[in-house]
């Protein structure tokens, strides 16, 4: 496995982290995600980490990076399915993921992104498309 699949769901992209992340995989994910945000005109990125029982600072930083890159491309990052133990570890590591929104599950994450889309379109008048 050298690539994590990125699935398009409406105006959002969904990534499920299931495997141990290493440098090359994380870099590939960031590159793929960046390209796909632009090509799919995505407004949100959902990252499901429900399979992760532990996180380290490497994954924490990767999530932060992805959120920062997505924001520059006008897409919001929502981390979904975080286990309680993972939340504790992240805070203990000093990674509060300030640029990242979180949601209990994919459906709530999609709601967040949909709501933001509606707000943006309302602010733009009739939408910019």
The dihedral region occupied by 27, where left means phi > 0, alpha psi between -120 and 50, and beta the remainder, is alpha
Q: Show contacts with a second copy in window 67-86 (CB under 8 A).
A: 81
Q: Which stretch binds a second copy (CB under 8 A): 14-22, 28-36, 57-65, 93-101?
A: 14-22
Half-sphere exposure of 39 (CA within 13 A, CB side): 9
Q: Residue 1, interface with a second copy (CB under 8 A)?
A: yes
Candidates 29, 95, 100, 106; binder of a second copy (CB under 8 A) is 106
Can you tell me which of 28, 35, 38, 51 binds a second copy, judged by CB under 8 A?
A: 51
Task: Give Cβ neighbours of residue 22 (< 8 Å, ≥ 6 apart).
Answer: none
Beta-strand runs (E) in 19-105: 44-48, 76-80, 101-103
62 counts as binding a second copy under rule CB under 8 A = no
Min dist. Cβ of residue 82 to a second copy (A): 12
Which residues bind to a second copy, rule: CB under 8 A? 1, 3-5, 7-10, 14, 16, 18-20, 48, 50-51, 81, 105-107, 110
């Amino acid at each position: 496995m050298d690539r994590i699949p990125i699935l398009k769901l409406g105006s959002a992209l969904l990534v499920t982290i299931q495997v141990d992340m290493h440098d090359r995989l994380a870099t590939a994910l960031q590159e793929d995600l960046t390209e796909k945000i632009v090509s799919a005109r995505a407004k949100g990125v959902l990252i499901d980490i429900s399979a992760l029982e532990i996180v380290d600072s490497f994954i924490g930083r990767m999530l932060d990076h992805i959120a920062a890159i997505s924001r520059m491309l006008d897409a919001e990052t929502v981390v979904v399915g975080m286990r309680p133990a993972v939340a504790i570890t992240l805070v203990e590591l000093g990674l509060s993921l300030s640029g990242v929104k979180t949601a209990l599950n994919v459906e709530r994450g999609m709601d967040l992104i949909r709501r933001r889309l509606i707000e943006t379109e309302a602010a733009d008048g009739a939408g910019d498309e």
